[in-house]
Amino acid sequence: MSGFVQWNDVPGGDGSRAEFLSMKSGNTYKVRPLLDAYNFHKYFHKVDGKTRTAVVTEEVVALLAAKYPSELTKPANRYAMYVIDRNDGNKIKILEFPISVYKVFCNSFEANKKKPGSRLEGSDWLIKKSGAGLNTSYETTFVDYSPLTDEEYEALKVVLGGDKEKIATFFPFSSVEQAEKKLFNPDEEGSSNSGQIDSSGTPASAASASSPTAPAASAAADDFDPDW
């Protein structure tokens, strides 16, 4: 499955650039999820000690698995969401995370029927990353309910540019040929499907939820469902 998922799908500034929240092992991050999670398949493959990645559809997964049965491991089931980074001036960023974190969000929704990314009923969370490689683990803890302030809501509208599904554009699907280049060619540019980096190698700055850096998108106040 790839695409946007609802919180009961429990598994077994113009927005053209975005800053990604890269979680480092040993650190704890306080975030406020926004909107729904975006789900996709992502390959992680090492070449000369460097991890190569590619986001692909289920059809491409099947073709690559048949073509490289021993070279490629099964792609990871990944999720991404816009979040407010409470540790960095309430900037709105994109957070990519594994299924283990998503399940905690789902369990919360199942228990109280409140979406973690809801405008009015959403909540703050602590996510602690530990370990490395195959031994990486995440501890996800509910903090408190946190309705969006007017400033946070306007900042999100700036980031989205009127498109609630904007996040999908930062995880473009690779064809078989594109995936092969990204995963096996050490000299191929743009090997990763996530993260928007400027010419200096620095992630593009994000809008701050506490002080938007651009006027809100020209749209009616009810552009988004009030409870998402």
Average pLDDT over every residue of 53-74:
97
In the predicted model, is pLDDT for residue 188 greater than 80?
no
Which tens digit of pLDDT belongs to each residue from 166-187? 999 999 999 999 999 999 986 6
Q: Count CB-CB contacts under 10 A for residue 104.
A: 18
What is the value of pTM for the model shown? 0.78
- The angle formed by the CA atoms of residues 46, 47 and 51, to the nearest 5 degrees, is 40
Which tens digit of pLDDT belongs to each residue from 77-93? 999 999 999 999 999 99
pLDDT at 203: 34
What domains are defined for the chain? 3-184 (3.90.198.10)
Which tens digit of pLDDT belongs to each residue from 55-64? 999 999 999 9
In the predicted model, is pLDDT for residue 44 greater than 60?
yes
pLDDT at 2: 65
Average pLDDT over every residue of 82-111:
97
pLDDT at 202: 30
pLDDT at 193: 52
In the chain, % of residues over pLDDT 90? 69
